[in-house]
Structure 1
Amino acid sequence: MHHSVSAVLLFLLLSGEGAALAQSPSSTVGLSVRRIELVSDDTQPAVEVAVSPGLSTVFLFDSEVSREGLMIEGRERFVMVDAGLNTLRLVPSEKISAGERLKLTVRFQDGSAPASATFVLVAHPARSEALVEVYRRKRGVETYQEEVRQARIEAEQCRQENERLRAERSAPNGLTGLISTDVLSERGVDFRDATKDVTQAPGGAAAKNRAYAYRTARRVAVVVTLKSGGDTQPWTAVGATLRGKANEELKVLQVWQSGPVAFGSTGQRVVVEAEAVSESPQGPFTLKLWDADGRRTVTLGNVTFP
């Protein structure tokens, strides 16, 4: 279904016209393998590792660890702590608060130095480090080669992203810019009113009022009107994720908010724009928004696109 008025609204939002507080989402955490090398003395500080509710973080050790020597703060904040001889899988629950820091200590069985390793688990509302490889002995050449390969892939991704941003920056504004960068095809903009379908998890920093979903040739966007949920502190979204049932995640390109959601004020629009590849499903997705310190979030479920 095509709506010309809705299309114009989307053009204005995606071109950044007539709005303050245009912001990009915070940096992605933990999309590749994290490698940590331990030193043989006690001078190494505790390493920070990002964790998130409902997402797995797996530690892989090159030495056998002691299940009895495992110590984790706030054990009740995890739905899973699964320790093997060389692995440790952690899945935080919704009880963990964004920004919370919990100490994790593992002890090795062979008695060699270092005898233990300490990590600080830092809770993030939507991002986690999926795989952390911990090396106690000297790493093999193949692990360095794999690290170089991953670095090259990430560098190429950054180069492509830089080219995309340069192309969009040099393109004209408004509808002409969308056409010139192939964001808009002959099909135009598909739009649906998702207000009745989208659900909200309790305890959010703001309350959902309206929700709309858009799709173009290369982009999708969710436009949510939020109003104060009674919190006296103003709230502004700075980051977002769109995650499917199988934990697949759309690449969020931009988060834009018309103004802070404040007590007694009118509703504010939040736009989350993401890449849409041809094979990407319509949903449903879970949209999670967070503020600058990550402690106050808004979680919306059953987000589907045209």
Structure 2
Amino acid sequence: MLQPLRLALVLALTLASGAAAQAQPAMGARVERQRSVTITSTPAEPLPVIHVAAGAPTLLLFSAPIQRKTLTFDESRIRVLDAGERSVIVQPVVDLREGERQEMGVFFADGRAPARAAFVLVTVPAEVDSRIDVRRSEPPSPACPSTAQTLTPRPEDFVLLGFVKEAGVTTSIRKDMGDSAQGLELQPTVSFRGAGWILADVKFMNSPDHPAWTPQEATFAGRLGAPRRARFIMEKQGPILPGERGRVLAVMEIPETETDLVFTLEVRGDGGRRLTIQDVRFPKLASEDAR
């Protein structure tokens, strides 16, 4: 006959082992998990996959109110146990077959993009989603526009900004052969003059027997006063290779006058090479009398 102390110890060990056995998941049972998903913002992105099982309801919690009447799903395969302002509880009628994918979707009430939340429901042996927090992808901040969103200037912008007024724009063409010693063959230079600005459009070719050349700055020099540095724009960034054509624009703001302007334009680059264009003429704008 067992002593009372030994009997109590045996009973305690038996109960403890039984409780531990109950705490362990049964062999082959699915693990329940809670997680978040972000719904897709473009049709090209794959839909979030939700793991469902016939024996375990899955709660979907949305970050914004939904239109319950817009729920779409296959009623022969999926049951919606409850649908609220921000939640849906779903459960398959039976476990979905291996490889079976059921789509379910619902529209948000506010209409903001992405307007619809859609999911793919599947059944897997290892786990089931007990709760899914549904998030929407945020649109890019309007305070930080990307360079791809930069607006292209339009003809009307020049008028609205005051660069072109009722006198219009005058032009002049300067023909020159360039400087053979510098290895830069100049094409006809077109000069433009508008309301408070001048612009020289310079095209040239780097001689095949000279090294690559990178223009770096431009200056306008008048008959009086020191040369003034121009705003400098290259059509193509980087060096102009031997035998390659290049194009630069030199722009400068000037006071509005009623006389012709004549400048010497100099474009300087690496290696000490420079392109000098003399007598670049900017005719005065048309007067009221001429119109």
TM-score, length basis structure 2: 0.40
Q: Which has the larger radius of gyration?
A: 2
> Which structure has greater strand proportion?
2
> Which structure has greater helix proportion?
1
